[in-house]
Structure 1
Amino acid sequence: MSKPAAAPLPGWGVWTWPNLVTAVRLLGIPLVCYLLLATQYYWQAAIILAVGGGTDWVDGQLARRLGQVSKLGRLLDPFVDRLYILSSLLMLTFLGLLPWPFTVAVLAREALLVSIVVVLRWHGFAPPQVHFLGKCATAMVFMSFPVLVVAGLVPGAEAWAAPLGWALAWWGLGLYWLAAIVYLRQAAGLLRAGRPEPSVAA
C-alpha cells in the first residue's frame, strides 16, 4: 500500500530545510550565468549546472521525509526547475552551444504544459501528477547542459563530451514531448470525466 501524501505545513512554511535547498539551487542560476558569460571558468560553471540540475529531486524528498511539505515549497520547487531549464537554454543558445530549433522545441513543450495547468485550474482541477517519464526526460535535459558546456567550451573535451551531450539532449527532448502527450491525455481524461467547478474564493 502506498504511503499517503504528507500534509502541508500550516501557513507558507518558509523556513524549512527543503526550501533552503531550493533557495541554494536558485542562487546557482545567476552564478552560472556570470561564469559562462563573463569568465572562462567553464568547468566550474558545468559543475554548478550539473549539481543544480541533478539535485532537483532532493528538496522534494527532504520535504516528504522530514514532514516539511509547504505551500511555498510546492510553488518554488517547480518554478526553480523551470527557471534552470529556461536560463540554461537561453545561455547555451546565446553562446552557440544549442541550435535554435532545439530551444524552440523545449520552449513549445513548456508552453503546452503551462497551458494544460491553466486549463485544469480554470475547471477546478489540480495539475496532473508528475509522471515517471517526465522525471526521466527532465533529468536527461538537465544533464545535457553541463556536458554540452564542457564539449563546446573546454579545450580537448569535444571528442568525448559532444556525443554524450547530444545523446542526452535529443533523447531527453523526445521523452520531454512524449511526457507532454501523457500529461495531455491525463488532462483530457479529467475534463471528460468532469465535476462541478468550485466557487471562486474571495
Structure 2
Amino acid sequence: MRMARVDVVMRTPPHGDIPEANPWDTDRFWTVPNVLSIIRLIGVPAFLWLALGPRLDGWAVGVLAVAGLTDWLDGRIARRWHQVSRIGQMLDPIADRLYIFATVIALTLRNVIPLWLVILLVARDVCMACLVPALRTRGFTSLPVHFVGKAATFCLLYSFPLVLLGHFGSGGWTVCRVLGWAFAVWGTALYWWAFFLYLAQTIHIVRTVPRMDSRGEQS
C-alpha cells in the first residue's frame, strides 16, 4: 500500500541528498483516484459502527478489505492515467491514518489489542508532528516519504484485520491471529524506524538550509 503522500516538499533545498517530490500530473479534484480515496474515507465511520455497534466483524473486515483494494487501485490508476494530484497526495495518507487509528481504537475498546500498542503508535505520530515547525522555518511542509514508512503502513494496515479475523475462533483463524500480530510488531518497529530517519533528515535540513523570514525569503 502506498503511504503518506501528504509528506511532500514545498520547495527543494540546494542539496542533492534531499529527495524531491514527484510533480503533479493534474490539479483537478474529481479524478478516479480521488473518488476512490473519498470512498475509503466514507468507510471509516462504517467500520467503526460495524465493529463497535452490532459487532458484525465479518462486515467490518469486508470494509477494511475494500479499503485496501481501493488504496491499491487509486495508486495504480493515478500513475498509469497520469492523474497524480495535490489533493490526492493529501487524501490518501489521511485515509491510511484514519483506518489505522480507527482499527486500533475499535480493537482496543474490545480488548483485542493492548493499550500499550495504541500508545506507541500515537506517540510516534505526535513525534512526527513536532518536526513540522522546524521544517516550516526552512520553507518545507514535511518530508518526502521513505520506503520504510511505506512498509510500516503496509504492515499495520494488514495486521489489524488479521488480528480481528483471529478472534473468529480456533483452527485456521489462529493462523490469522499469529500473522496479524507478526505484521503489528514489524509495522510498529518500522513505524518508529521511519521516524528516526525523518528526524535525521529534519536535522540535516535545519543545519544546511537557510531559515525563511516572514516574507518567505531566505534570511
State if a TM-score over 0.5 links the two structures. Answer: yes
| Structure 1 vs Structure 2 CA RMSD | 2.2
Once the two structures are superposed, the pairs formed by residues 96-175 of structure 1 within 5 Å of their partners are 96-152=111-167, 154-156=168-170, 158-175=173-190
**Amino acid in the other structure paired with 2:169:** P
* 1:181–1:78 CA distance, 2 compared to 1 (3 A): same
Q: For residue 78 of structure 1, report the CA deviation from its aligned partner.
A: 1.5
Return the alpha-carbon distance in structure 2 between the equivalents of residues 32 and 125 of structure 1. 34
In the alignment of these two chains, the number of paired residues is 195
The higher-RCO structure (CA 8 Å, 6+ apart) is 2
Extract unaligned runs of 5+ from structure 2. 1-20
Confirm or deny: 8 A CA contact 1:137 1:172 kept in the other structure.
Answer: yes
Q: Is the 8 A contact 1:117 1:128 kept in 2?
A: no
- The DSSP-based 3-state class of the residue aligned with 1:48 is helix
Return the alpha-carbon distance in structure 1 between the equivalents of residues 58 and 103 of structure 2.
Answer: 15
- Write the mapping of 1:47-62 to structure 2, written as runs, cut at 5 A: 47-53=62-68, 55-62=70-77
- What is the identity, as a one-letter code, of the residue corresponding to 1:95? R
- 2: CA distance between counterparts of 1:80 and 1:19? 11
Q: Which amino acid aligns with 1:67?
A: H
Per residue, is there more helix in 1 or in 2?
A: 1
* In the alignment, structure 1 residue 24 sits paired with structure 2 residue 42: no
SS at match of 2:71: coil
Aligned partners of 1:8 and 1:70 also within 8 Å: yes
Deviation at 1:183, TM superposition (A): 0.9
Where does the alignment leave 5 or more consecutive residues of structure 1 unmatched?
none
Q: Is the 8 A contact 2:137 2:211 kept in 1?
A: no
Quick check: 2:36–2:74 contact (8 Å CA) kept in 1? yes
Task: Report the TM-score when normalising by structure 2.
Answer: 0.80
Shift of 1:54: 5.6
Q: Which amino acid aligns with 2:31?
A: T
Residue 8 of structure 1: how far off its partner (Å): 4.7
| Equivalences for residues 9-88 of structure 1 within 5 A | 9-10=26-27, 13-53=28-68, 55-88=70-103
| Contact 2:139 2:216 survives alignment (8 Å) | no
Runs of 4+ in 1 over 3 A off after TM superposition: 53-58
Distance change (3 Å), C-alpha of 1:178 and 1:55: farther
Distance 1:123 1:31, change over 3 A: same
**Residue 10 of structure 2 corresponds to which residue in structure 1?**
none
Deviation at 1:196, TM superposition (A): 4.3
Does 158-167 or 50-59 show the bigger shift? 50-59
Give TM-score scaled by structure 1 length. 0.86
- Report how far residue 58 of structure 1 moved: 3.5
